[in-house]
C-alpha cells in the first residue's frame, strides 16, 4: 500500500471508516473491543488504528518504538476490518486535526468517523484546533471508567450538538449532529497498566 493511502481501496471509494488514534503503547484487547463495537454499531467498513509516533500533549518520549508498537497492534487486532497504520510518521506533525485533514484529502469520498474514549472527551478542548475535529468528522465517544457520566459537561459537549446517549442502539445517520456517546461494557485493561506490569515483571 502506498504511504500516501490509508485504506486498501481506491481514493474514490464511498465507504465509512472509523479512526482510532493513539500511541498504542501497547495495543490491547480494549482497543479491539471498541473497534469491533464501532464496526457493528456505526455500520463501518473498516476501523483504522492510527499509531502515532508521539502524543503531542506529552513531552516524554514513547518508550516502545513505532515499529514495535505497530507489530504488536497487528498481532492484536485479529480482524481484517481493522487496519493498522503508521502513516502519521510521514506527516509534518501528528496533531489530530491535521491528520484528519490529510487523510480526508487522500480519500475524498470516504466518510470518516473519529473514535475516542470518554476520558479524551473531557480534555479534547486542549488539543490543537480541536473544534476542527468535530467539523471535519463525526466523533464517537465510548464510555471509559468514570468519565462517561461527565461527557455532557465537557466543553466540547456544550458547543457541539450530539445524538442521544445510547446504551445499545446504533447510529447510521450522522446528519445535523457532531458526536454521540456509546455506553459499552467496561474493559479494565489499559496500556498504562500493561506497561507497569511488564516493568514489574522485568524487575523481579
All three cell numbers of 48: 483504522
**pLDDT digits over 62-84, tens only?**
668 999 999 999 999 999 999 99
**pLDDT digits over 79-115, tens only?**
999 999 999 999 988 899 999 999 999 898 999 999 9
Rounded Cα distance between 125 and 50, Å, is 20
Predicted pLDDT at 93: 87
Neighbours of 58 (CB within 10 A): 9
- Do residues 27 and 64 lie in contact, with contact meaning Cβ atoms separated by under 8 Å? no
Angle at 120 between CA 117 and CA 121, to 5 degrees: 90
First CA to last CA across the chain, in angstroms?
42
Rounded Cα distance between 116 and 38, Å, is 10
Alpha carbon separation from 164 to 137, 140, 152, 177, 179 (Å, rounded): 18, 12, 11, 10, 9
Predicted pLDDT at 199: 44
The pTM of the full predicted model, rounded to 2 decimals, is 0.86
> Which carries the bigger pLDDT value, residue 166 or residue 9?
9
Predicted pLDDT at 24: 96
Helices (H), the chain: 29-42, 66-77, 96-106, 118-123, 130-136, 155-159, 191-203
Mean pLDDT of the chain: 85
Contacts of 177 (CB under 8 A, 6+ apart): 138, 161, 162, 163
- Mean pLDDT in residue range 32-44: 94
Q: Name all domains of the chain by residue range, CATH numbers in brackets.
A: 16-203 (3.40.50.620)
- SS3 at position 3: coil
- Do residues 113 and 78 lie in contact, with contact meaning Cβ atoms separated by under 8 Å? no
Predicted pLDDT at 185: 83
Percent of the chain with pLDDT over 90: 62
> Which carries the bigger pLDDT value, residue 27 or residue 204?
27
Predicted pLDDT at 150: 87
Rounded Cα distance between 29 and 32, Å, is 5
Nearest Cα to Cα of residue 96 among 57, 61, 64, 145 = 57
Predicted pLDDT at 146: 75
Name the least confident of 26-30, 39-43, 56-60, 146-150: 56-60
- Mean pLDDT in residue range 27-44: 94
Rounded Cα distance between 104 and 74, Å, is 23
**pLDDT digits over 130-169, tens only?**
999 999 999 999 998 778 888 989 999 999 999 866 555 6
> How many helices and strands (H and E) does the chain possess?
7, 6
Amino acid at each position: 500500500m502506498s504511504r500516501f493511502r490509508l485504506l486498501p481501496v481506491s481514493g474514490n471509494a464511498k465507504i465509512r471508516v472509523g479512526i482510532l488514534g493513539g500511541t498504542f503503547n501497547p495495543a490491547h484487547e480494549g482497543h479491539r473491543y471498541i473497534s469491533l463495537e464501532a464496526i457493528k454499531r456505526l455500520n463501518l467498513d473498516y476501523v483504522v488504528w492510527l499509531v502515532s509516533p508521539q502524543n503531542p500533549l506529552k513531552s516524554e518520549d514513547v518508550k516502545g518504538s513505532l515499529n514495535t508498537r505497530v507489530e504488536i497492534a497487528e498481532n492484536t487486532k485479529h480482524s481484517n476490518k481493522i487496519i493498522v497504520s503508521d502513516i502519521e510518521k510521514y506527516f509534518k506533525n501528528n496533531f489530530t486535526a491535521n491528520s484528519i485533514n490529510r487523510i480526508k484529502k487522500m480519500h475524498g469520498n470516504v466518510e470518516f468517523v473519529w473514535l475516542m474514549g470518554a476520558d479524551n472527551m473531557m480534555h479534547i478542548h486542549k488539543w490543537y484546533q480541536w473544534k476542527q475535529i468535530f467539523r471535519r468528522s463525526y466523533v464517537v465517544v465510548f464510555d471509559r471508567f468514570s468519565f462517561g457520566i461527565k461527557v455532557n459537561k465537557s466543553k466540547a459537549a456544550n458547543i457541539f450538538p450530539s445524538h442521544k446517549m445510547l446504551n445499545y442502539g446504533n447510529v447510521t445517520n450522522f446528519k445535523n449532529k457532531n458526536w454521540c456517546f456509546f455506553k459499552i461494557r467496561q474493559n479494565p485493561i489499559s496500556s498504562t497498566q500493561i506497561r507497569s506490569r511488564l516493568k514489574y515483571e522485568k524487575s523481579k
